[in-house]
């Protein structure tokens, strides 16, 4: 792993990539999503502060456990600027995600336990399908085999509150 002198306060994108293990394209993507930031030199080159190393490690660890980038961005925004996130920061932020991760684990266990039945059916709308139709909620409205529609997240675009 390339060593970066302690006296070097800013890193080029290549140095950040080499040290963090993240591809340059990933770093540019992270920056476009507001996960890390850089300044531009007079030659229009990106320069990252040293704390970007810890932030990139934080992003990659959070991604590995399935935390959405928007959630990661919000978490990083809660940290003071120009300060390397530390163990206490990680503990506080990861504790906030624990309930979400526990719920995902529960859903994955349910998926694993019932996957054979669901795939065997093929229609994804078994009368008592615990994956697509828990408690036969669709049976109250429709009959017969139907491919279950995707569930919408929040109000549809263009809908107001009144």
For residue 150, pLDDT over 60 is answered with no
For residue 151, pLDDT over 70 is answered with no
Residue 83 CA to residue 155 CA, distance in Å, equals 38
Handedness of CA 60, 65, 68, 72 (dihedral sign): negative
Q: Which residue has the tokens 């394209």?
A: 25
Kindly report the average pLDDT of the chain as a whole number. 77
C-alpha distance across the termini of the chain, in Å: 58
29-33, 57-61, 114-118: segment of lowest average pLDDT: 114-118
Taking the CA atoms of the chain, what radius of gyration do you get in angstroms? 22
Look at residues 45, 60, 43, 44 and name the one whose alpha carbon lies nearest to residue 15.
Answer: 45
List pLDDT tens digits, range 61-97: 889 888 889 989 998 888 877 667 788 888 888 888 8
For residue 42, pLDDT over 50 is answered with yes
56 pLDDT band, cuts 50/70/90, is very high
Look at residues 57, 60, 97, 101 and name the one whose alpha carbon lies nearest to residue 75.
Answer: 97
Of all residues in the chain, the percent with pLDDT exceeding 90 is 27
Q: Which residue has the tokens 């909620």?
A: 137
Of all residues in the chain, the percent with pLDDT exceeding 70 is 65
């Amino acid at each position: 792993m390339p060593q970066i002198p302690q006296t070097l306060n800013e890193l080029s994108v290549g140095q950040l990539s080499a040290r963090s293990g993240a591809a340059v394209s990933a770093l540019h993507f992270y920056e476009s999503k507001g996960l890390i930031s850089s300044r531009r030199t007079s030659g229009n080159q990106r320069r990252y502060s040293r704390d970007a190393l810890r932030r990139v490690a934080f992003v990659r660890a959070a991604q590995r456990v399935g935390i959405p980038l928007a959630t990661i961005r919000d978490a990083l925004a809660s940290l003071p600027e120009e300060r390397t996130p530390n163990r206490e920061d990680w503990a506080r932020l990861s504790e906030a995600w624990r309930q979400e991760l526990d719920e995902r684990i529960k859903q994955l266990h349910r998926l694993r336990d019932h996957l054979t039945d669901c795939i065997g059916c093929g229609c994804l709308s078994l009368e008592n399908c615990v994956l697509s139709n828990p408690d036969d909620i669709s049976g109250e409205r429709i009959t017969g085999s139907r491919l279950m529609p995707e569930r919408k997240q929040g109000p549809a675009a263009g809908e107001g509150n009144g």
